[in-house]
Structure 1
Amino acid sequence: MTTKITDNVYGCLIGGAIGDALGAPVEGWTHERIQEEYGTLEEFKQYYMPYSKTEPGTITSDTALRQYLCLAIVENSGRVTPVEFADVLQKHLNPDRVWINEEIALKKLIGGIDPWKAGRGSVPDNKMTSAITPVGIVNAGDPVQAYQDGYNLASVLQDGHYRHATATIAAGIAEAITPEATTETVITTMMEQSTGIITRGIDIAVGYAEVADTVGELIDILYDTFLDWRWPAVQWDRQKYKRGEVFSASTLETVPVAIAILLICGGEINRSIIEGVNYGRDSDAVATVVGSLAGALHGADEIRSDWKSTCEEMNRDFFVELEDDQDADFQFMAERLVNVIRAERDKHTDRAEQLSQLLEG
């Protein structure tokens, strides 16, 4: 059983990292442009981002932020609040590895802003939504608590509806790594552990996935009817938006789209990641979310071995930077998170005994 849960946790981490690295070269591209250039993109490519390494297989800020949150959880041997997360960010965050929104949040934290409020007024990007998955892991089997923790932690970097979208992903992961989980139970859990506009967005996207005969048909529908128009733009131009010259990095699009792709692919992990990448737009965010969910469901053993080995090798310098440990990697972090699950079990056992004594006394 320990081997199985470790494989699922590792699947979540490495699946998310692979989706991120595969999607990075075509971030901001339309689905049509990706088709014209690559047919179907499923291999790592060189890319350009000002806040990332750019060699094929290297991660972007989506995965980097996730690993900072993982570190906060393992260093505290359990669930964390915005205070513990903010402490890790102030100690370890390399501003050269993250986008401007995270740089601003770091400056706020250094300046003394309350971590529970640091995300107020932030740009509604996907980084924290992509990063939240270890909160689902540490709350394995308890999506209600995962949602609450995810919502609280999102306050460090996000505001408004976007915190709810992030919390929904945490709840989905908490369900996905349980033994009896299926694609359908994960999606149902996320629908139940959501609220307002996020629930509505997921419901619409899932409805599209249920009527579409192919992934291509689903993407056509999403492009025609579901592009998020709330992304900040100084001058609005519909044609630029449609062409991908301006694109949304909002969770209000990314989360429902990732869930719809997971559903139409039947949760099959390699296919889900590929289709998330080839959706385009905020392609690394869509692919990292769907890769995390499918990886948690099915485990790392089902992920292409060439993807795993390349992604591990190309990001070793990040882990050395993060922890000053030559042996650290995604798999090692997964093993440590499983130890945290054990610690959480022991805390719940102690709590149950205390309640029994209270009731019996």
Structure 2
Amino acid sequence: MSAAAGGTGTTAIWGRAEQQDFRSRVRGCLLGGAIGDALGAGVEADSLDAIRETHGEEGVTDFVPAFGRRGAVTDDTQLTLFTVDGLIRAQVRRDTGAWHPPTDVHRAYLRWAATQRDWGPDERKEDDGWLAREEWLYSRRAPGRDCLTGLGDDTMGTLDKPKNPDSKGCGAVMRSAPFGLLVGWEPQLVFQLAVECAAQTHGHPTGYLAAGAFAVISHALARGDDLDSAVQKALAHLATRPDHEETTEALKRALGAVRQGMPTADRVASLGEGRTAGEALSIGVYCALVAEDVRHGLLLAVNHGGGSDSTGAICGNLLGTLHGETALPPVWLVELEGRDTILQLADDFALEMTQGPALHGPAGSAPGWLARYPRA
């Protein structure tokens, strides 16, 4: 995107059409991921046979009740939203000279962890910002053990000393699409940031490299690439990293499955169950690659015997970023839990990335913006 200034995430001159396109992609990414998450939430623990026995030969074709309602999201969407919150806060805090985005994202993840143990937002401080005060987020939605233990204290995992060093579960990759929305950054920096933030909970190389690869794919899509080219860019970045082989092979299996013929549930199953980071990325990418439209891709991504919520979320993030919000099925949007919050956050992110200098900086700051995203 020509309007993006290199490497920092601060933007130069954006035309109106560019701003509208970017906002549509950000909305598409976050809403699409949440829809995929919600479609898979009600069948995440079921085998494909069980899904078909309950919902018919086509499997799930609509939201099914989960957590007491239709359209409910899981921890996948919760953590993705806090990733966005952390990235906005990093941009705002840059005015203070404190520029270390992994720390700001980690603090955002700690705010998410508080939603998993507190009854509600009553005890939140003003400097926690607006997202941490959204009451509907105070609900346990089957959070992964490694996310909870990795964020169980204030110590931040790093690549040198990662949390859960043996974990390659999908809990980091499924929250990493927002890093790719930093269109003003160079792709290698996007990859590095996603990897560093993944190591805060998932310390196995596959656990964090899959997150980096997903971020680079999303980044290429947000900049206007097609999905196949985006995957090739991720493979090139992976090739430069130690211990990349498992993640690389997972992406190559996805590409190989595309060439094997018409997409089927059996072909999805051949890529794994989606419970490890590599498998979840492989399934999500494959379903996005073969999708006739968003609906087709998402239903393919959730009708399998595995981590249907995470694979649905990853596929939805990709298709939403690729096609923008107007490609998302409206019948699912109207029932999606937290839609208003997701839209507010998406628009705030787009506003920060395109108009940040007008909101805060040496010349003055908008008090309302700093109340939403405090510098503290």
TM-score scaled to structure 2, two decimals?
0.74
**Where do 4+ consecutive residues of structure 1 move more than 4 Å?**
343-346
> Percent of pairs identical after alignment?
18
**For residues 125 and 210 of structure 1, do their structure 2 counterparts lie closer, same or farther at Cα, with a shift above 3 Å needed?**
same
**Structure 1 counterpart of 2:335, from 310, 318, 331:** 310
Correspondences of 1:345-360 after superposition (within 5 Å): none
Partner of 2:157: 115
Q: Secondary structure at the match of 1:26?
A: coil
**Structure 2 counterpart of 1:41, from 48, 56, 60:** 60
**For residues 197 and 118 of structure 1, do their structure 2 counterparts lie closer, same or farther at Cα, with a shift above 3 Å needed?**
closer
Partner of 2:290: 264
Cα offset for 1:158? 0.7
Does the 8 Å contact 2:151/2:200 carry over to 1? no
Does the 8 Å contact 2:274/2:308 carry over to 1? no
Q: In structure 1, what residue type is equivalent to 2:217?
A: G
Cα offset for 1:100? 2.4
Does the 8 Å contact 1:141/1:175 carry over to 2? no
User: 5+ residue gaps in structure 2?
Assistant: 1-16, 93-98, 117-139, 239-243, 359-376
Does the 8 Å contact 2:173/2:211 carry over to 1? yes
Cα offset for 1:80? 5.4
Separation in structure 2 between the aligned mates of residue 80 and residue 63 of structure 1, nearest angstrom: 24
Partner of 2:34: 17
Does the 8 Å contact 2:146/2:164 carry over to 1? no
Q: Secondary structure at the match of 1:76?
A: helix
Partner of 1:279: 304
**Structure 2 counterpart of 1:137, from 167, 173, 181:** 181
Cα offset for 1:344? 7.8
Cα offset for 1:201? 1.7
Pairing 1:101–2:146 present? yes
Q: Secondary structure at the match of 1:158?
A: coil
Cα offset for 1:291? 0.5
Separation in structure 2 between the aligned mates of residue 13 and residue 69 of structure 1, nearest angstrom: 11
The size of the alignment, in residue pairs, is 300
Separation in structure 1 between the aligned mates of residue 170 and residue 68 of structure 2, nearest angstrom: 20
Partner of 1:167: 212
Q: In structure 2, what residue type is equivalent to 1:293?
A: L
Partner of 2:263: 215
Separation in structure 1 between the aligned mates of residue 175 and residue 39 of structure 2, nearest angstrom: 17
Cα offset for 1:121? 3.0
Cα offset for 1:42? 2.2
Cα offset for 1:264? 1.8
Pairing 1:299–2:324 present? yes
Q: In structure 2, what residue type is equivalent to 1:189?
A: K
Partner of 2:252: 203
Cα offset for 1:140? 5.2
Does the 8 Å contact 1:62/1:128 carry over to 2? no
Superposed CA deviations along residues 198-244 of structure 1, whole A, max 9, x for unmatched, are 111211221122112x221xx32453x543xxxxxxxxxxxxxxxxx
Partner of 2:78: 64
Superposed CA deviations along residues 53-79 of structure 1, whole A, max 9, x for unmatched, are 441111100110111111111122278
Partner of 2:276: 250
Partner of 2:91: 77
Cα offset for 1:157? 0.9
Partner of 1:5: 22
**For residues 91 and 40 of structure 1, do their structure 2 counterparts lie closer, same or farther at Cα, with a shift above 3 Å needed?**
closer
**For residues 152 and 336 of structure 1, do their structure 2 counterparts lie closer, same or farther at Cα, with a shift above 3 Å needed?**
same
Cα offset for 1:91? 3.6
Does the 8 Å contact 2:151/2:201 carry over to 1? no
Q: Secondary structure at the match of 2:303?
A: helix
Does the 8 Å contact 1:141/1:178 carry over to 2? no
Q: In structure 2, what residue type is equivalent to 1:183?
A: L
- When the two chains are superposed, the root-mean-square deviation of aligned CA atoms in Å is 2.3
Larger fraction in helix: 1
Does the 8 Å contact 1:21/1:284 carry over to 2? yes
Pairing 1:330–2:342 present? yes
Pairing 1:30–2:50 present? no
Separation in structure 1 between the aligned mates of residue 33 and residue 178 of structure 2, nearest angstrom: 11
Separation in structure 1 between the aligned mates of residue 200 and residue 75 of structure 2, nearest angstrom: 16
Partner of 1:177: 222
**Structure 2 counterpart of 1:86, from 84, 106, 118:** 106
Partner of 1:152: 196
Partner of 1:127: 171
**For residues 67 and 106 of structure 1, do their structure 2 counterparts lie closer, same or farther at Cα, with a shift above 3 Å needed?**
same
**For residues 54 and 119 of structure 1, do their structure 2 counterparts lie closer, same or farther at Cα, with a shift above 3 Å needed?**
farther
Separation in structure 1 between the aligned mates of residue 184 and residue 333 of structure 2, nearest angstrom: 24
Cα offset for 1:118? 4.8
Partner of 2:9: none
Q: Which moved more, 1:8-17 or 1:21-30?
A: 21-30
